[in-house]
Amino acid sequence: MAKPVVEVDTLVKQYGQLRAVDGISFKVHEEEVFAFLGPNGAGKTTTVEILECIRPLTSGTARIFGYEVTRNSDVVEIKRRIGALPQEFSALDKLTVKENIELIGDMYEKHLDVMEIIKLLDLEDKTNEKFENLSGGLKQRVGVAAALVSDPQLIFLDEPTTGLDPKARRDVWAVITNLKKLGKTVFLTTHYMEEAQMLADRVAIINKGKIAAIGSPQELIAQYGGLKILKIRGGDEALAGLLQKKYDKVSLNSNGDILVKIDDAEEFWRVMATLTDMKVGRDIEIQTPTIEDVFLKITGGIITEEGELKQ
């Protein structure tokens, strides 16, 4: 087992009566991509900013590389070792891409070659472009470049794709995948289910300041995702009725598709055999549960595109 890079124990952040982070505990291991998935106001950014040493905690402990985030002498060591892309990243408008990355790099005792980072992030043709002239996606890539320039072991990416168009979002995903290949530890916060499922080795679902579930996407889906669904397109009530006599979990949706929930492979083949016997020659599709189903199961709601929780 890789050693833990982030260790959080019963962390609490209180604002007056509001408990933004409510006694959470988790670990992030070396070289893994760890995602904090939750709606707006769940406590994701608050937790990350406590770990980045820019927000004080109320109680509990948080360690990065074994250093305490509350101890002033440790804060310097932590800041030397982490890279960060804050939510809604921005830089000096009139400076170029290269100058902005250099500025962040110069804050460290040593940093990587800026042109190498620019190349890594595929920003070569924008090297001398002013930050103000970049699109949202390119600005985020500059933010990631700035997070990487000090060659950190741990990188915090706070909502890196929020507000980006689909293409820009895919570009950022490619960058994160690349970071994983480089052996970096990535702490990602997001409200996009697909993003967490696709990129993360482990996901912590956070809601109302508490971690509701934690594990790899596969583990979470297996535990909370529910059954696979066999969808028979263009079904009818007669066929649905016949299937209902043999199987318990059959329903007809509003599109006229018959949905059969199946527990395992054995049951799948049994249903297929029945359909063959009945000479049902229609399109058949298998739907696998996703993190979205997990989230729905755990919180009773879904997260909208804007990041709000909808019950």
Partner 1 sequence: MKAFTIFKAVTKNWIRSRSGLFFSILFPVLLLLVFGAIFSGIGGTAQYSLFVQNLDTNTSGQPTEISTAFIEALNSTETFAISDIPADANATEYVRDKLGPLGGNIRILVISKGFQDDLLNGTLKVRIGIIYDTVTYFEPYMTDKQNAAISQGLSQMQQLNASIPDTKASLTIMLDPADQSAAMVKSIVMSVVNAFNYELIGAENVVEFNEASVTTKRYSNVDFYIPGITAAFIMTNGIIALTATTTEFKRRGIIKRLSLTPLTKIDWVVGNVLCQTLLNLMLAGIMIALGWVVFNVRVIPDALSIALILLGSIMFSGMGMALSGFIKDVEAASAIGNAIAFPMMFLSGTYFPMEIMPSYLQTVSKALPLTYVSEGLKHAMIYQNPEGTYINMAIVAMLAVVFIIVGAIVTRWKEK
What residues line the site for partner 1 (CB under 8 A)?
Answer: 15, 49, 52, 54-56, 76, 79-80, 82, 84, 86-95, 99, 103-104, 106-109, 130, 146, 150
* Residue placing its CB nearer to partner 1 in the complex, 108 or 173: 108
Q: Report H helices in 82-210.
A: 97-105, 114-120, 136-148, 166-181, 193-199
What are the tokens at 117? 């980072």
Among residues 98, 163, 160, the alpha carbon closest in space to that of 131 is found at: 98
Question: Shortest distance, CB of residue 223 to partner 1, whole angstroms?
Answer: 35
* Residue placing its CB nearer to partner 1 in the complex, 49 or 257: 49
Question: Shortest distance, CB of residue 107 to partner 1, whole angstroms?
Answer: 4
Report how far apart the first and last C-alpha atoms of the chain are (Å, whole number): 38
What are the tokens at 255? 């599109």
Question: Shortest distance, CB of residue 99 to partner 1, whole angstroms?
Answer: 7
Question: Shortest distance, CB of residue 49 to partner 1, whole angstroms?
Answer: 6
Question: Shortest distance, CB of residue 1 to partner 1, whole angstroms?
Answer: 29
Distances (CA, A) of 62 to 47, 72, 152: 10, 13, 19
* Residue placing its CB nearer to partner 1 in the complex, 89 or 187: 89
d(CA 264, CA 227): 8
* Residue placing its CB nearer to partner 1 in the complex, 144 or 239: 144
* Residue placing its CB nearer to partner 1 in the complex, 3 or 71: 71
